[in-house]
Amino acid sequence: MAEKNRLVTVAALQFACTDDVSTNVATAERLVRAAHQKGANIILIQELFEGYYFCQAQKEEFFHRAKPYPGHPTIARMQNLAKELGVVIPVSFFEEANNAHYNSVAIIDADGTDLGLYRKSHIPDGPGYQEKFYFNPGDTGFKVFQTKYAKIGVAICWDQWFPEAARAMALQGAEVLFYPTAIGSEPQDDGLDSRDHWRRVMQGHAGANVVPLVASNRIGKEIIETEHGNSEITFYGYSFIAGPTGELVAAAGDKEEAVLVAQFDLDKIKSKRHGWGVYRDRRPDLYKVLLTLDGSNPVK
């Protein structure tokens, strides 16, 4: 008797943050519960959802927002919630590790077990997004996590612009890719709107790797006082779920709170992925150039 195909329902949450941790965590919990009511098994909350996106400014006082991974109160609360609802929750947080700091995500399985940590690999540094002041480059490498419902890859925001990250997770067997995000307007250029570019790049990752992809972004205007005056970003949301050919399955707008849900047949997608031949016909022996910065000298 043939086994039933593995169906998984994924969700992307989208909401505006205040700068109060308890308020934001309560909002996240409310939307996780709403996603569960819609049948979601794996639920993605946006990047650094405990507060405002503080990286608009370089302020020593903002390091106080970081907490150690062991005993982190928000992770503990999400562990209890995951166990209660039987859902998987990647939890983004600002991590303090002795004198190092990371933009990290803990993967909570459906029984509340903490499956481990991923630390953001690519750290941006530009007007409004001055993350290099706060975060060390991640040292975990790209990872996949075997959850109750699927083997998942989770990377963070700026990681989503790099096809190498998506391919690394897919090669390790990721069946769905997840990207918690905080992105919006560019303080130095009112005319620059990256939302369509942002979405298309990740749709490409889904299609190139033949895996579904989930991206969760915040909304709302956030103003941070800097040494040069106030900096303002309007986060554009646009959270979405893409299918294994890059097709847009569910999408949010740029202003409204959202709970996006989509179901995928992982066994059917696996057959499509194997039949398409992009993994069979790979040529790793020809890709040594990817280990360089300038196309010729290998990075040591």
What average pLDDT score do residues 143-167 get?
A: 98
Describe the crossing of helices 21-37 and 73-85 by its angle, rounded to 10 degrees: 20
Q: Burial level of 55, CB count in 10 A (0-12/13-18/19+)?
A: buried
pLDDT category at 127 given cuts 50, 70, 90 is very high
**Can you give the pLDDT at residue 227?**
82
> According to the model, what pLDDT value does residue 2 have?
52
Mean pLDDT of the chain, nearest integer: 96
Average pLDDT of the segment spanning 185-204: 94
pLDDT at 3: 60
pLDDT band for position 5 (cuts 50, 70, 90): confident
- Per-residue pLDDT of 215-261, as tens digits, reads 999 999 999 998 888 999 999 999 999 999 999 999 999 999 999 99
286: pLDDT strictly greater than 80: yes
Active site residue 157: yes
The pLDDT of residue 1? 46
Does residue 15 surpass a pLDDT of 60?
A: yes
pTM over the 0.75 mark: yes
Which residue out of 29, 47, 50, 175 is catalytically annotated? 47
Residue of 95, 143, 157, 222 marked catalytic: 157
Q: To the nearest whole percent, how much of the chain has pLDDT over 90?
A: 94
pLDDT, tens only, 16-67 = 999 999 999 999 999 999 999 999 999 999 999 999 999 999 999 999 999 9
- pLDDT grade for 190, boundaries at 50, 70 and 90: confident
Please identify which of the residues 17, 50, 96, 120 carries the catalytic annotation: 120
Round to whole Å and give the CA distance between 125 and 134.
10
Reply yes or no on whether 47 is catalytic. yes
